[in-house]
Structure 1
Amino acid sequence: MDIISRREKEKKTREEDIINAAEKIFTIMGFNGASMEEIAREAEFTRKTVYQYFTDKEDLYFAVVVRGFNRLIYYFHEEINDGCSTGFEKLESLASAYYRFYKDYPGTLQLMNYVGYIKSKNQNVTQYLEFNKFTDLLAQEVLNVIDEGKADGSIRTDLDTMSVTYSAEFLITAFFNMLSVSGKTFTNHFSLNQEDFIYLNMSLLCDIFRAKK
């Protein structure tokens, strides 16, 4: 039993090392510029070893993205559990969690935002299925916050819950995607404090959904 556990632990460690290497190479070279050979070299494994864990580059890309979504949802839970009393406050906390994630994992966020350009050759592979699970889970997290806010009167009730959920996700994701691409150039050009600029935009975005008193 101990031998099996040790083997499983070694397998998990190797898999994590490969994902770490892939995240670094994808961030530096982009998805199209990266190769399994480069990733194997970064992980200090042979290509054969990498292929024992991941079927192809797309499979490995989705493994990186899945881990990113997992981290983001963890940030969501941390922020929501930090003294929020209304649905609207939780919605603001989701935006704050996204900002934290942007600061901690800017390269990963760019990779996650690139996901629409990647088509898995085999949509039944584990990592692609995990990706779909986490995107559904993320939407459910936002939906629960919207429903709670509508119930407690802090979020507008005249809007369809699903529409609000997808709009909130889209607006916040789009903002941080633009910020990761050209944010520093933009804020520097206009002599803006980036953190103040981010908080202003998050406030404006969230206020769209706030119930009017």
Structure 2
Amino acid sequence: MPLTLLQLPDYWRDHFLKFTTNPLENPYGYPSLRSVLLSLRDMPYARPSRGNTVRDCITEWTGTCSAKHMAAHEWLTLMGHAPQFWMACYIMDFKRPYYSDQLRTAASAYRVYDVHNFVTCDLGHGEITIDITFPAPLGRHGFPITQDWEGNNNFTLCCDPLERIALHDLNSADQHKRSWLQSLNTSKALRLREAAILEMAGYVGTD
């Protein structure tokens, strides 16, 4: 049986209660999976201020690829699916139009690796890729986004992975990600990566 609104973790429950007038009359009054995933996609791209957790992501309604996909993984699990959470390393492309010329110049002599998170899941039509990193309006700035989703097609994957690792304990996801980033990058490259994330987060509110 699906969970009722009042059976959900409190942060999910409180979020959906904003849109439901009477949870006793409408105990399953949360949106479709499509609506939930697209709404997670369209939350602002920024790190939650209190911590990179599902609770803080939903409570603050903000997240980057890690928090958004931990939230998607948790919601899919709550809905009875069996999602898989992934880390994927790739080389950052500073030719993307949303990076500044200043950052592009600073990074020109370096290879900067990032670690991206996404989810895969079989929703009844075979395994698909779910990547809800960037809000749809940021597509006009050149961000890789998925404009729509029909429920059985792949989302646009926001990177070209060199290697990917499945994680089964999401409580250690941040620790694994930090360790992998440090093993891939020099200290200068790590600073350039952080500057890139801050520039991407700077697009919040420009849509």
Q: Give TM-score scaled by structure 1 length.
A: 0.27
Higher strand share: 2
Q: Which has the higher helix share?
A: 1
Higher Cα radius of gyration: 1
Query: TM-score, normalised to structure 2's length?
Result: 0.28
